């Protein structure tokens, strides 16, 4: 069954990034993407592939922590939004979010994933409200401290 999208992915993402923590699983579902948690072994974070019904499926590594899986899911959603014509027979991301599609593509996906999980306006709001450590922001946005730290630098908050 192919999901019929009434709205553009970017509009759906906008709707889902107005409140935190961003419900990234509900976002995937709304985009018509199936998500499964699977044991992908020690070296894979996640993957996105076309399924039999010509929709898309994302697998995230069930071995990883909740914050890690949230980032992986956002990263794969980024591939869906930005790189759909490059997915081909699937993109498999290793532990460092590298794939055969190359570093530029993966950097884009990481940046987009961070913007889904930590929307700039909401991060700015929290920051101005006094929440100025990666640890505090990480808890608030339900991401890893590493992702929160990267986002703080990206947004030039410190
Ligand atoms: Zn990737």
Q: What is the pLDDT of residues 4-24, one digit of tens each?
A: 557 899 999 999 999 999 999
Q: Which residues of 40-49 are buried (b: 16+ CB within 10 A; e: fewer)?
A: beeebbbbbe
Whether residue 48 is found in the same domain as residue 75: yes
CA torsion through residues 143, 32, 51, 84, sign: negative
Does residue 81 share a domain with residue 155?
no
The rounded Å distance from CA 18 to ligand 1 centre is: 25
Q: Do 154 and 110 belong to one domain?
A: no
Q: Are residues 93 and 139 in the same domain?
A: no
Q: Kindly state the tokens that stand for 25.
A: 């699983």
Whole-model pTM: value is: 0.94
Residue 34 lies in a domain: yes
Q: Is 24 a member of any domain?
A: yes
Residue 22 and residue 78 share a domain: yes
Name the band, by pLDDT with cuts 50, 70 and 90, for residue 52. confident
Distance from Cα 93 to the centre of ligand 1, integer Å: 5
Is there a single domain that holds both residue 56 and residue 134? no
Distance, in Å, from the CA atom of 125 to the CA atom of 139, rounded to the nearest integer, reads 15
Written in H, E and C, the secondary structure of 41-76 is CCCEEEEEEECCCCCEEEEEECCCCHHHHHHHHHHH
Show the domain range for 154: 119-158
- Same domain assignment for residues 70 and 133: no
Whole-number Å distance, alpha carbon 60 to ligand 1 midpoint, is 12
Judged by DSSP in three states, 115 sits in: helix
Ligand 1 centroid from CA 111, angstroms: 11
Using the predicted structure, report yes or no on whether residue 1 has a pLDDT greater than 80: no
For residue 4, tell me if it sits in a domain: no
Percent of the chain at pLDDT > 70 equals 97
Please state, in angstroms and rounded to a whole number, the distance separating the CA atoms of residues 29 and 71. Answer: 16
Residues 94-130 pLDDT 10s: 999 999 999 999 999 999 999 999 999 999 999 999 9
User: Do 110 and 137 reside in the same domain of the chain?
Assistant: no
């Amino acid at each position: 069954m192919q999901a019929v999208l009434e709205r553009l992915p970017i509009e759906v993402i906008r709707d889902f990034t107005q409140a935190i923590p961003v419900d990234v699983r509900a976002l995937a579902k709304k985009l018509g993407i199936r998500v499964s948690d699977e044991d992908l072994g020690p070296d894979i974070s996640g993957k996105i592939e076309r399924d039999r019904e010509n929709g898309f499926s994302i697998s995230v590594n069930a071995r990883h922590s909740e914050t890690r899986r949230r980032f992986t899911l956002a990263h794969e959603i980024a591939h869906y939004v930005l790189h759909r014509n490059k997915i081909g027979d699937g993109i498999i991301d290793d532990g460092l979010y590298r794939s055969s599609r190359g570093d530029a593509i993966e950097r884009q996906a990481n940046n987009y994933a961070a913007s889904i999980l930590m929307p700039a306006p909401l991060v700015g709001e929290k920051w101005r409200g006094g929440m100025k450590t990666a640890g505090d922001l990480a808890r608030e946005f339900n991401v890893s401290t590493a992702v929160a730290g990267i986002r703080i630098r990206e947004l030039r908050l410190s």
